[in-house]
Amino acid sequence: MTPAAFAKLQIVAPGETAAPGTPAGKSGTPDNQIADILFAVTVNAVDDFWNVVNSVVDTVSITTTDAFATVPLAQPLVAGTRNFSMSLATATTSIITATDVANGLITPASVAISAGPGAPTKLLFGQQPGSPATAGVNFSPQPIVEIQDIAGNVSLTATHTITLMAYSDITCTTPATRTLNGGGGLPAVSGVVTFTAVNYEGADDIYLRATAAGLTSACSTLVDMNPATATKLVFTQQPSSSATAGANFAQQPVVQIQDQFGNRTADSDSVTLTPFMNASCTDAASGTLNGGGAQGANAGEATFSAVNYEKAETFYLKATSGSLTAACSTSIAVTPAAFVKLQILAPGESAEPGTPSGKSGAPLSQTAGAPFNLTVNGVDAFWNKVASASDAISITTSDVNVTPPANKSLNLGTTSFSVTLKSAGNHTVTATDVTDSAKTPSTTGPITLNAAVFSKLQILAPGETALPGSASGKIGAPAGQTPAGR
């Protein structure tokens, strides 16, 4: 029996078998395919009863509802039949249609074939991390990462462990410098990992890279990071480790306002510097600090420009600003400036270098005829003792009855003199630089000299005047007198 006239096309999928003369023309059901794996469909030119008409050589095209499928070029039938090799890309049921290109009157043929995902090959962010984001605050939304086959289908059976890391560039090759939290390895469920508590502690913009063993990694879109609320101060540039009294530090301090993670904020609060004697900045220093007054921050950074300290000692700077946690600098060793003047200290006075007066206390009262010691220091403009000073020093006093002590030279910037005042009352003592008259002398405050204990009598005749403190105790001579009754 010969076939009837060519009337339509028949497409036979894997799993189906042509059955000429039957109502459906074939038996079986199409086998499920794997995305991106080639398979063949057979196209037959048939009569109305599904018999192959082997004289047909029309050109046939293959189309499908899968927009990403790989379909063959249109080709002519050979003896009424041809196998076409193709693959589906989308993991769904697609319709494959065979159409006679040469004769539009011929009825096309279609078949529905389902495709499942192929082998897992790559990762893809199904949901990008939220941007912008705040340091230390969970991204909103949280990232979702899919395990996909080569065609982009989610591999529903994949259970790979996926890890997130932070990078600073769009290609995810340069690791970011701060800590990413919540990105530790999580196993996929049905080919998907949904992260729940991912955050980044930095304020630098980042990208997230998703990785899993054996799969191509994925790089997220940009996450625009912002600092958290300001909580503390930090010296981002320390003051010079050594300096000269009264001279601006060669390296001036710079203080940043930062959040809890060390990110610079945009705050404009004022920052103040004060001097302390210990590394924890709890023991206040006594010297004068210049240039540490309130300095407004510019975009979270306060830059000081004329900070100096007048006392020769090792100290620390404490930066404060309102309720923010203060910062304590590294140590600064200050040495004296040039030797420019003398400082004389009487009993009862103490040196206070780096202060306006250079000393504290007041001279104690002394007793006539009793020696007491005076200290003389060679100092800089801020009353710091200059150890290299060795000039000769002379002592003078307002008590005219005192023979000054011999001159003495400074030793390591200091010396002492024993002085004995004789005339009761208030007196001063002056130290003068004999070697260099350009050095400023120093004079004590008034020293009250009290009389010594009662030890003798003094008689004064007319013409004599008491002169306390002198060798004779008086001056003048008795005046002649006229005898009484003459």
Give the confidence band of 484 by pLDDT, cuts at 50, 70, 90: low
Q: Is the pLDDT assigned to residue 95 strictly greater than 80?
A: yes
Give the confidence band of 465 by pLDDT, cuts at 50, 70, 90: confident
- Token couple for 207: 């990208």
Task: Give residue-wise pLDDT tens across range 169-206.
Answer: 999 999 999 999 999 999 999 999 999 999 999 999 99
pLDDT attached to residue 473: 63
Domain membership flag for residue 407: yes
Q: Is the pLDDT assigned to residue 478 strictly greater than 90?
A: no
Report which DSSP code applies to 387: T
Question: What does the alpha-carbon distance between residue 230 and residue 14 come to, in Å, rounded to a whole number?
Answer: 67
Residue 212 burial (10 A CB sphere; 0-12, 13-18, 19+): buried
- Token couple for 211: 């990785």
pLDDT attached to residue 452: 57
pLDDT attached to residue 31: 97
Domain membership flag for residue 36: yes
Task: Give residue-wise pLDDT tens across range 209-231.
Answer: 999 999 999 999 999 999 999 99
Domain membership flag for residue 45: yes
Give the confidence band of 486 by pLDDT, cuts at 50, 70, 90: low
306 and 347 belong to one structural domain: no
Give the confidence band of 451 by pLDDT, cuts at 50, 70, 90: confident
Query: How far apart are the two ends of the chain, measured CA to CA in Å?
Result: 200
pLDDT attached to residue 481: 65
142 and 98 belong to one structural domain: no
Residue 132 preceded by cis peptide, ω within 30: yes
pLDDT attached to residue 289: 98
Which residue would you say has higher pLDDT here, 457 or 365?
365
Residue 373 burial (10 A CB sphere; 0-12, 13-18, 19+): exposed
pLDDT attached to residue 241: 98
Q: What percentage of the chain exceeds 90 in pLDDT?
A: 92
88 and 187 belong to one structural domain: no
Domain membership flag for residue 455: no
**155-193: b (≥16 Cβ within 10 Å) or e:** beebebebbbbbbbeeebeeebebebebbeebebeebbb
Give the confidence band of 122 by pLDDT, cuts at 50, 70, 90: very high
We report the CATH number of the domain holding residue 365 as 2.60.40.1930
In terms of phi and psi (left: phi > 0; alpha: psi -120 to 50; beta: otherwise), the region of 152 is left
pLDDT attached to residue 466: 64
- Count: domains in the chain: 4
The residues that bridge with 129 in the sheet, in sequence order, are none
**225-258: b (≥16 Cβ within 10 Å) or e:** bebbebebbebbebbbeebbbbebbeebbbbbbb
Domain membership flag for residue 214: yes
pLDDT attached to residue 3: 94
201 and 278 belong to one structural domain: no
Domain membership flag for residue 466: no
Give the residue-averaged pLDDT of 137-158. 97
383 and 443 belong to one structural domain: yes
302 and 348 belong to one structural domain: no
pLDDT attached to residue 458: 63
237 and 327 belong to one structural domain: yes
280 and 318 belong to one structural domain: yes
Question: What does the alpha-carbon distance between residue 321 and residue 229 come to, in Å, rounded to a whole number?
Answer: 14
217 and 301 belong to one structural domain: no
Task: Give residue-wise pLDDT tens across range 67-87.
Answer: 999 999 999 999 999 999 999
pLDDT attached to residue 459: 73
Question: What does the alpha-carbon distance between residue 382 and residue 245 come to, in Å, rounded to a whole number?
Answer: 7
* CB 146 within 8 Å of CB 192: yes
Report which DSSP code applies to 262: S
Its pTM surpasses 0.85? no
Task: Give residue-wise pLDDT tens across range 266-317.
Answer: 999 999 999 999 999 999 999 999 999 999 999 999 999 999 999 999 999 9
pLDDT attached to residue 462: 81
- Residue at a domain's end among 335, 365, 384: 335
Q: What is the mean pLDDT of the chain?
A: 95
189 and 235 belong to one structural domain: no
- Per-residue DSSP letters for 172-209? S-SB-SS-EES-S-EE-BTTEEE-SS-EES-SS-BEEE
Q: Is the pLDDT assigned to residue 471 strictly greater than 60?
A: no
- Token couple for 378: 């060679």
Q: Calculate the CA dihedral of residues 77, 83, 88, 94 and round it to 10 degrees.
A: 70
Domain membership flag for residue 473: no
pLDDT attached to residue 446: 97
Question: What does the alpha-carbon distance between residue 420 and residue 371 come to, in Å, rounded to a whole number?
Answer: 4
- Residue 81 — φ and ψ, nearest 5°? -150, 160
Task: Give residue-wise pLDDT tens across range 129-147.
Answer: 999 999 999 999 999 999 9
- Residue at a domain's end among 312, 335, 358: 335
Q: Is the pLDDT assigned to residue 453 strictly greater than 90?
A: no
Q: What percentage of the chain exceeds 70 in pLDDT?
A: 95
- Residue at a domain's end among 226, 257, 274: 226
Give the residue-averaged pLDDT of 463-479. 67
267 and 209 belong to one structural domain: no
We report the CATH number of the domain holding residue 210 as 2.60.40.10
Domain membership flag for residue 479: no
Report which DSSP code applies to 373: E
- Domain range holding 73? 8-116
pLDDT attached to residue 1: 77
239 and 328 belong to one structural domain: yes
Give the confidence band of 5 by pLDDT, cuts at 50, 70, 90: very high
Question: What does the alpha-carbon distance between residue 270 and residue 322 come to, in Å, rounded to a whole number?
Answer: 8
